[in-house]
């Protein structure tokens, strides 16, 4: 079985949360221990302790199988942009061994295991590497500049050992909530600034481009140029079409291409961005057009989640209309 980004680690967590039949987040909270003095902690340390507490609670059911030093090593490697310290294949083997061991320990019958048989040996270092490489590390990579790993793993170890935490669960939750609110505000401000910049650059480009011979500007602001004429039927805005295409940002970056995939695509013109619905409806079968689509007719103020299309980005598409599907 091929694992995704979090692969085996995610399945281990699901197993851990399912051993009692109740998700950890739904279990009654333990009486909060008196937290240690935290006035001397900086913001990165506080966030590290807050996240560490959450990590510890998520992994509580499998804590005896985790080598924390190995997990930290793997998280640090992820933060440093290195390859995972355990292969997907070895992570899968570790996942299977851990799942089987936990199932047997809980009195469950495991296919292929004789009743009463001893659980398989679990390599705790491999478990730590698996969790650090495929769950904790990737989950926290974007926050690596905001947290202190020493604090995070001190919080995990303290919780696993039953010690006194530096932050109560309520304090940790408040820190996380405040941090996320701040981050969200920063991201919104950055997106708004980028959206304004993209709109200005797009408008300037389109104003100049409309003067190029052969470029047509429609009432909506869409611009197009006929690269190769065609003589077939034109689709309706609700038609299903078969096309080849390549999409670029204004700087020439290709963000999507059926040519690169080596296969045309089919879709309904009522299921795509407005610029495509309008533009492809202008094309006769057999033709190839170039479209310049302003942001409001493309992906708007949101862009595409995670990139590469930013808010209000003006896009260029070369489109070949192969056929209108029945």
Spatial separation of the C-alpha atoms in residues 75 and 84, rounded to whole Å: 9
The pLDDT value given to residue 306: 79
DSSP 146-198: T--HHHHHHHHHHHHTT---SS-HHHHHHHHHHHHHHHHHHHHHHHHHHHHHH
Task: Give Rg (Cα) of the chain.
Answer: 27
Q: Is the pLDDT of residue 228 over 90?
A: yes
Segment 244-271 shows an average pLDDT of: 96
pLDDT tens per residue across span 156-188: 999 999 999 999 999 999 999 999 999 899 988
* Range of lowest pLDDT (31-40, 59-68, 243-252): 31-40
Answer yes or no: are the C-beta atoms of 291 and 224 closer than 8 Å: yes
pLDDT tens per residue across span 30-55: 444 445 556 688 999 999 999 999 99
3 vs 237, residue with greater confidence: 237
Burial class (CB in 10 A: 0-12, 13-18, 19+), 231: exposed
> Which domains does the chain possess?
7-24+35-167 (no CATH), 202-325 (3.10.50.40)
Q: Catalytic site residues?
A: 245, 255-256, 273, 299, 317
Burial class (CB in 10 A: 0-12, 13-18, 19+), 120: middle
pLDDT band at 114 (very low <50, low <70, confident <90, very high): low
Spatial separation of the C-alpha atoms in residues 13 and 19, rounded to whole Å: 10
The pLDDT value given to residue 128: 97
The pLDDT value given to residue 233: 96
Q: Is the pLDDT of residue 15 over 70?
A: no
Q: Is the pLDDT of residue 25 over 60?
A: no
């Amino acid at each position: 079985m091929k694992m995704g980004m979090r692969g085996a680690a995610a399945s281990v967590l699901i197993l851990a949360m399912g051993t009692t039949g109740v998700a950890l987040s739904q279990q009654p909270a333990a009486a909060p221990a008196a937290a240690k003095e935290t006035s001397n902690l900086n913001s990165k340390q506080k966030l590290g302790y807050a996240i560490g507490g959450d990590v510890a609670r998520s992994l509580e059911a499998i804590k005896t199988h985790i080598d924390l030093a190995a997990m930290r090593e793997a998280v640090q490697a992820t933060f440093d942009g290195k390859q995972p310290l355990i292969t997907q294949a070895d992570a899968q083997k570790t996942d299977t061994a851990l799942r089987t061991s936990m199932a047997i320990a809980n009195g469950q019958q495991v296919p292929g295991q004789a009743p009463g048989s001893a659980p398989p040996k679990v390599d705790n270092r491999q478990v730590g590497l698996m969790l650090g490489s495929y769950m904790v590390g990737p989950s926290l990579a974007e926050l690596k500049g905001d947290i202190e790993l020493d604090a995070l793993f001190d919080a995990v170890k303290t919780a696993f050992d039953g010690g006194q935490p530096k932050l109560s669960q309520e304090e940790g939750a408040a820190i996380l909530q405040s941090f996320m609110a701040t981050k969200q505000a920063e991201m919104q401000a950055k997106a708004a600034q980028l959206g304004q910049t993209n709109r200005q650059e797009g408008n300037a480009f389109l104003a100049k481009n409309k003067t190029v011979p052969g470029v047509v500007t429609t009432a909506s602001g869409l611009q197009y140029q006929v690269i190769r004429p065609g003589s077939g039927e034109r689709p309706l805005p609700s038609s299903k079409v078969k096309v080849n295409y390549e999409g670029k940002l204004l700087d020439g970056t290709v963000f999507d291409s059926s040519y690169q995939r080596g296969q045309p695509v089919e879709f309904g013109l009522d299921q795509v961005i407005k610029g495509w619905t309008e533009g492809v409806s202008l094309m006769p079968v057999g033709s190839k057009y170039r479209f310049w689509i302003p942001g409001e007719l493309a992906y708007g103020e949101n862009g595409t989640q995670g990139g590469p299309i930013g808010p209000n980005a003006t896009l260029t598409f070369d489109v070949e209309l192969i056929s209108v599907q029945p």
